[in-house]
Structure formats: structure tokens, C-alpha cells
Amino acid sequence: MPTAVEVRDLKAWFGKTEALHGINMSVEAKHATAVIGPSGCGKSTFIRCLNRMHETNPEAKAEGSVQVGGTDIYQMPAVDVRRRIGMVFQKPNPFPTMSIYDNVAAGLKLNGMHNRKTLDQVVEHSLQQAALWDEVKDVLKKKSGASLSGGQQQRLCIARALAVSPEVLLMDEPASALDPISTAKIEDLIFELKEKFTIVIVTHNMQQASRVAEFTGFFLMGNLIEFERTEKIFTNPSDKRTEDYITGRFG
Amino acid sequence: MTRIRFHQELDELKHRILAMAGMAEQAIDLAVQAYTQRDAALCQRVIANESAINRAEREVDEFAIDLLAMQQPMAIDLRFILAVLKINADLERVGDQAVNIVQRVMSMIELPSSELPVDIPAMATRVRAMVRDALRSFIEGDVDLAKHVLEADDEVDRMNREAFKALSESMRTNPEAAVQALDALSVARNLERVADHATNIAEDVIFWIRGADVRHGAGQQMAGS
């Protein structure tokens, strides 16, 4: 199975505080990889380094290499990086005043695409991929993104990320603000999306990691303690620290 | 330490399976005693106790399934609950074997005593030691002791084969005592099955502690690590 993202000796800082201490990880293409760990372990910092969101904080810096398709993202323009590596956040953040259609088309328009027919096709395809099309197809331009429910807003954000055809989709606790039904829809969606995209998901919910991801990495205090197939992590982890965390004996 | 209530419930599950284990162990001890003493009252006691073992099996299963459903256990806790479910079934079968033995004993008591070429007490001593060690390995999470149980099973298998050979020969040469020989043969086979259940329990202990599946000779290397 080819590697989609190759992370080597990745370190990250906030000011003088080192938040990641040299992470190595090979993320397999067209699979879901979950990142778990206690609060403050560096898991969100880690995925924010995978599309250079980390450096949007003026205090922050990162070192090491993150290769996507053989190219180091730290040698590419940040705009290109974020087109190739999309991100969905914990709290749905649609553009509140834009219509549903414009929310999905925004990324493409920013990249200079203004062909009406192409935009229509991409918007429909992206909303279908995000399993939202049937619920919004009649109100695409009438309703704003903010008028949708929380779960729908999150799927809208996923559609927006998919519209620019990324290779990798990063998800930072994408269902933690959602009710169980909306969470189940997002998890079903992840299952479908990983046939076409590589997904890296940060989650506090270990059952969610075990349900959606083939691979799981356990972070602790800025280190990647264990990175293995998910079933191994949750049935028979190699490291005592992983076991203590997932069985609730931690701390 | 977090998930305190869950870990208290795991302790409770362990107590319950140990209570069940005590009943199963006692059933085998009484059955063997009934055989050596040709004691019908002991036979009746084993039969009467079986329903308590069956009830305990259902209760342990229910408790374990509730924990699986309600607590979503992981890693060593998940393996522990899975091991308990399997050990529970083996203990219930040990209780059944004890009943099978006393049924043969009751048949033997009806018939004149006969000198048979088989040392059932010696075999029973081995088997009871295996059950005791398997349960101790579970109580103490002792993989070395569990492996010792696996090794001991070969010896019981050998004794059972020898009993079969000697009793078959006895049936041929001493047909008047054929029914007694057949009863003794059944008792030997029941004891051999109890040893198999002890072996299963030992394998489950290794799975719980090491995460290694050593059934049918697999995964021995991992169990040793």
C-alpha cells in the first residue's frame, strides 16, 4: 500500500516550548489513520503541521519534513499545500452569510475557477460525496450555510474541503460537537471517503477511532508512543503507556 | 487512575468467576471421591450441585456481557472479559463431566466390585492438579503456571490412552466384568475431558495476559515473550 504522507523528524514549537519532539509516521494512502492521546499531547498540533496550519500562529514554528506525493510541503507555497491537504475542524465553520452553493464553490473560485457549468458539477459532486446533496439540493442558493443543523454544517465543511480535490483530508475532532446521529453520519462518511482520499482524524473518542480507522497513533507529551494497526492498539498494544491510556489507568 | 467504577466491576467479575470455579473444582473432587469410596450419597450431592453451577454460569455471562455493552473495554480489560466468558463455559463443562462421572459411579455401585487394570485415582490426582493450577494461573495472572498446565495435558492424554488399552484388553479376557470396565473407561475419558477444559482455561489466561492465541499449538513464541 503506497504512503500518502511521510512524516520525518517533525518538531513543532509554540514560542520556546517544544510541543512535538520528532515525530515519524508513514500515513497509508486511501486509509483512515486516527490520532489519539490525552489533552495537550500534541495530536492537534501534529495534524495542523500536516497542512501548515500550525505556522498560522505567529508564535509557532515547525521543523522536519512532511512529504506528500514525494514533495516536502514545507518547500511548497502554503496555498498549494492547503489545496492538496484539506482540513475539517471540531466546530463546523461554514461561511455564515454565503449560500450553501457558494460555501462549497468558495475554494474553487479562490483558485480562479469561474466556469458556471464546472462549478455546478463540482458543487453537486462534492455535496454527494459528503452525503448532504439530498438534504440541500432544493435550497442550494436560497439558504445560507449557517441555517443548517450542526451535523449538516459539518458535512457542508467536508463538501467544501472535497471541492478542491485534495489528496488528504485532515479532521480535527470532526464529530465531538455533534449528537450521536450526526456523529454516525460523519463516521459513515469517513468510511466512504477513504476509498478515494487519505484521512487523518484526531479524536478523543477511542470507540470512534476503533470504528473508522485502520491505523491508530497514540501521542503522549509530544511523542508518538505507538503507531500500529487499530485492532492491535485496542486489543493488544505493545507499549504499557498506550495500554494504560486506553484502559483508563492513565494518570 | 480513572474509570474507577469499571475497574471495580472487573474485580467483581473476577470474584464471581472464582466462586463458579470453586463450585466446579468441588464437583470434580466429590466425583473422584465418590468413585474411590463407591459412595452413592456423594454422587447425589454432585448431581444436586449442578444446577447451582449452571445458574452461576448464566450470571457470569450476563455480568460480562453487560460490561462489554456498557463499558466498551479495551486491550487487557477486553481480553480479560473475553477470557472470563470462555473460562466460564469451560467451568460449566467441568461441572457436567463431574455429573457424567458420578452417573458411571452409580452404575458401578449396582454391580459387584471388580479389580480393574486402571489407576483412576492417580489420573484424577493429575487432573485435579491441572484444574487447580489453571485456576491459580488465572487468579495470579501467572503465564508460566498456565504453560505448565498445557504441558501436563500430554501426560493425562497418555494415561487415558493406556486406560483404554488396558480396559479393552480386560473386557476381552474378563467379559464378566465388561460393564465395570466400560464404566471405568468412561470415567477415564471424563477425566481426560476435564484436563482438556483445564488446558482451555490455561490458554485463556495466556491470551488475557499476553494477548497471544496459543490454541492448537499456535503462538507459543509470543506467549513466551
Residues 6+ apart with CB under 8 A from A76: none
The continuous run of DSSP H or E covering A228 comes out as strand A223-229
Across the interface, which of B2, B78, B79 has its CB nearest the CB of A248?
A: B2
Q: Helices (DSSP H) in B111-177: which residue ranges?
A: 120-140, 143-173
Q: Kindly report the nearest CA distance between residue B3 and chain A, in angstroms.
A: 6
Work out the average pLDDT over B42-53: 96
Across the interface, which of A207, A243, A251 has its CB nearest the CB of B75?
A: A243
**The cell 519534513 sits on which residue?**
A65
pLDDT class for A111, splitting at 50, 70, 90?
Answer: confident
- For residue B180 the three cell numbers come to 465395570
Q: Kindly report the nearest CA distance between residue A238 and chain B, in angstroms.
A: 10
Please tell me the total count of domains within chain B: 1
pLDDT class for B141, splitting at 50, 70, 90?
Answer: very high
Residue A58 has pLDDT above 90, yes or no: yes
* Cross-sheet strand order for the sheet of A3-14: A17-28, A3-14, A60-68, A71-72
Phi-psi region of A40 (alpha: psi -120 to 50; beta: other; left: phi over 0): left
- For residue A228 the three cell numbers come to 500500529
Q: Kindly report the nearest CA distance between residue B77 and chain A, in angstroms.
A: 7
Ordered DSSP codes for chain B: ---HHHHHHHHHHHHHHHHHHHHHHHHHHHHHHHHHHT-HHHHHHHHHHHHHHHHHHHHHHHHHHHHHHHH---HHHHHHHHHHHHHHHHHHHHHHHHHHHHHHHHHHHHSPP---S--HHHHHHHHHHHHHHHHHHHHHT-HHHHHHHHHHHHHHHHHHHHHHHHHHHHHHH-GGGHHHHHHHHHHHHHHHHHHHHHHHHHHHHHHHHH----GGGTTHHHHH-
Residue A250 to residue B2, Cβ atoms within 8 A: yes
The percent of residues above 90 in pLDDT, for chain B, comes to 88
Summarize pLDDT for B54-65 with one digit per residue, the tens: 999 999 999 999
How is chain A split among helix, strand and coil, in percent rounded to 5? 40, 25, 35
Given this model, what pLDDT does residue B77 score?
Answer: 95
Summarize pLDDT for B79-108 with one digit per residue, the tens: 999 999 999 999 999 999 999 999 999 999
Q: What is the ipTM of this complex?
A: 0.75
Residue B215 has pLDDT above 90, yes or no: no
Query: Which residue in A has a C-alpha nearest to residue B73's C-alpha?
Result: A247
Residue B225 has pLDDT above 70, yes or no: no
Size of interface A-B (CB pairs under 8 A): 38
Q: Would you list which residues of chain B are within 8 Å, Cβ to Cβ, of chain A?
A: 1-3, 6-7, 72-79, 211
Across the interface, which of A207, A234, A248 has its CB nearest the CB of B3?
A: A248
Residue B78 to residue A206, Cβ atoms within 8 A: no
Given this model, what pLDDT does residue B220 score?
Answer: 58
Ordered domains of chain A (ranges, CATH): 3-246 (3.40.50.300)
B152: domain CATH number is: 1.20.58.220
User: Which amino acid appears at position A78 of this protein?
Assistant: A
Query: Which residue in B has a C-alpha nearest to residue A243's C-alpha?
Result: B75
Residues 6+ apart with CB under 8 A from B190: B97, B100, B101, B104
Q: Which residues pair with A5 in a beta bridge?
A: A27, A68
> Rounded CA gap, B4 and B22, in Å?
27
Q: Kindly report the nearest CA distance between residue A91 and chain B, in angstroms.
A: 26
Work out the average pLDDT over A174-189: 91
User: Which amino acid appears at position A8 of this protein?
Assistant: R
Note whether A11 and A18 are within 8 A (CB). yes
Dihedrals phi, psi of A170, to nearest 5 degrees: -95, 135
Summarize pLDDT for A29-48 with one digit per residue, the tens: 999 999 999 999 999 999 99
Work out the average pLDDT over A217-236: 96
Contacts of A250 in chain B (CB under 8 A): 2
Work out the average pLDDT over A190-198: 93
Work out the average pLDDT over A145-169: 95
The percent of residues above 90 in pLDDT, for chain A, comes to 90
Least confident of B67-76, B101-110, B134-143, B199-208: B67-76
pLDDT class for A123, splitting at 50, 70, 90?
Answer: very high
Given this model, what pLDDT does residue B217 score?
Answer: 78
Work out the average pLDDT over A198-221: 95
pLDDT class for B224, splitting at 50, 70, 90?
Answer: low
What is the domain extent for residue B125? 4-224
pLDDT class for A23, splitting at 50, 70, 90?
Answer: very high
Across the interface, which of B7, B72, B75 has its CB nearest the CB of A236?
A: B75
pLDDT class for A135, splitting at 50, 70, 90?
Answer: very high
Given this model, what pLDDT does residue B221 score?
Answer: 56
Contacts of B79 in chain A (CB under 8 A): 235-236
Summarize pLDDT for B161-183 with one digit per residue, the tens: 999 999 999 999 999 999 999 99
Note whether A99 and A142 are within 8 A (CB). yes
Query: Which residue in B has a C-alpha nearest to residue A205's C-alpha?
Result: B72
Query: Which residue in A has a C-alpha nearest to residue B2's C-alpha?
Result: A248
Residue B79 to residue A243, Cβ atoms within 8 A: no
Contacts of B141 in chain A (CB under 8 A): none
pTM: 0.84
Q: Kindly report the nearest CA distance between residue B208 and chain A, in angstroms.
A: 9
Summarize pLDDT for A138-148 with one digit per residue, the tens: 999 999 999 99
Residue A250 has pLDDT above 80, yes or no: no
